[in-house]
Amino acid sequence: MGTKSVKASAVFLDRDGTIIFDKNYLSSPKKVRLYSFSAQSINRLRMAGFKVIIVTNQSGVSRGMFTERDLIKVNKKLLSLLKRKGVEIDSIYHCPHSDFDNCYCRKPKPGMALKGAEDFNIDLKKSYAVGDSIRDYLFGFNMGGKGVLVLTGHGRKQQDTIASEKVKPLAVCKTLKQAVNFIIKDAK
């Protein structure tokens, strides 16, 4: 009789406005700035047993505002800043398309979560998505998991729009730190 491998739970984190300050079409690694709570928050998720994957829409690539190479440099800088604080990320996935491209990887569609589930044997039903936009928490629901909105970045502006949405976030949290506290309690 074969053994069935246990699937991991994950937290899919938005990048801009959730982990780092949103610089509006960030194309320079020199402008990457972590929120003060990001490294510690991500470490808490990892210590709680979650895979941590960054998922980011980057339509600036398809719009010609920066190149895929620029995007990779920004992501490398982010990973470097986190590593200096002792934080490892399992992966970063990005969607370089705009809404007009109608691709399956652009949040709120679940393409990046499905890729993560395949690459890391993740149970999406036991996973979360966290970000500063309605797209981010809808991504959580569309992947079959749960979505949390943070009020950093564009989150505070998005909070007003939630009332008209059919699907509401599981929680609205001030920062990633508060979201992590919520997720760890909710997952028990």
Q: Which residues are catalytic?
A: 14, 16
E strand segments, 14-90? 51-57
Radius of gyration of the chain (CA): 16
The Cα 105–Cα 93 span in angstroms is: 9
Closest residue by Cα to residue 148 from 165, 127, 125: 127
Report how far residue 133's alpha carbon sits from residue 17's, in angstroms, rounded to the nearest whole number.
9
CA 69 distance to own-chain centroid? 20
Positions of E strands within the chain: 10-13, 51-57, 91-95, 128-131, 146-150, 171-173
CA distance 48 to 124: 16
